[in-house]
Amino acid sequence: MPTSTTSPTTTDTGFAMRLLGAAALDPTTYEEVEADRGATGQACLVVVLSSIAAGIGARGFGGGSLTSMVFISGIALISWAAWALVTFEIGSRIMPSADTQVDIGELLRTIGFAATPGMLQIFGVVPGAALPAFVITWIWMLAAMVVAVRQALDFTSTARAVAVCVLGWVLALAIALTLGLFFGPTVS
């Protein structure tokens, strides 16, 4: 007998439909994922697949070794975790609204699915497509993150969600660049 942890007001759609809804920036999808404690594994899978896609897609920048791909995938994963942590802290402690209800699980599930567009970074392996693939997916993930944060932190203002996400994104990007500069493979 299947069990569902979604509330009676949400529908339990499949993983593929959730990916499409998340990529389409559908608030209903993010609300469903927020309410479904069983979606935590799916959200983790999205983040891991997005990170792997970044490592593979980065081959288009000239880093074709397995070591480089693994390193970049690791940096992408660490960057997402930093972004999640910073977003949680900013959204729950620094910029909460009067309606903000903070549940770390709900936030992690929604922003995990916000990484869905990142899976398209894999197209960076196409010659000449690396930069556009990464720029487009990063902007798309930022937009998805705004929707996810707005839903998970119960913000009524999209502007507040934008501020939280952009600030978190800038800090996470700084962490990723710093790690890459100090620990990344050398380019010859």
Kindly report the length of the chain.
188
Residue 68 binned pLDDT confidence (cut-offs 50, 70, 90): confident
What per-residue confidence (pLDDT) applies to 129? 92
Residue 50 has pLDDT above 80, yes or no: yes
- The residue among 115, 141, 173, 137 whose CA lies nearest residue 57 is 137
Q: What is the mean pLDDT of residues 37-57?
A: 96
Characterize 32-58 residue by residue with b for buried, 16 or more Cβ atoms within 10 angstroms of its Cβ, and e for exposed.
bbbbbeebbebbeebbbbbbbbbbbbb
Residue 90 has pLDDT above 60, yes or no: yes
Residue 135, classified by CB atoms within 10 Å of its CB into exposed (0-12), middle (13-18) or buried (19+), is exposed
What per-residue confidence (pLDDT) applies to 173? 79
Q: Residue ranges of the domains in the chain?
A: 24-180
Cβ–Cβ < 8 Å for 70, 183: no
What per-residue confidence (pLDDT) applies to 113? 98
Q: What percent of the chain has pLDDT over 90?
A: 60
pTM for the model stands at: 0.84
| Alpha carbons 11 and 14: distance in angstroms, whole number | 10
Residue reference for tokens 């209903």: 28
Bigger pLDDT: 46 or 99? 46
Residue 108 has pLDDT above 50, yes or no: yes
Bigger pLDDT: 140 or 101? 140
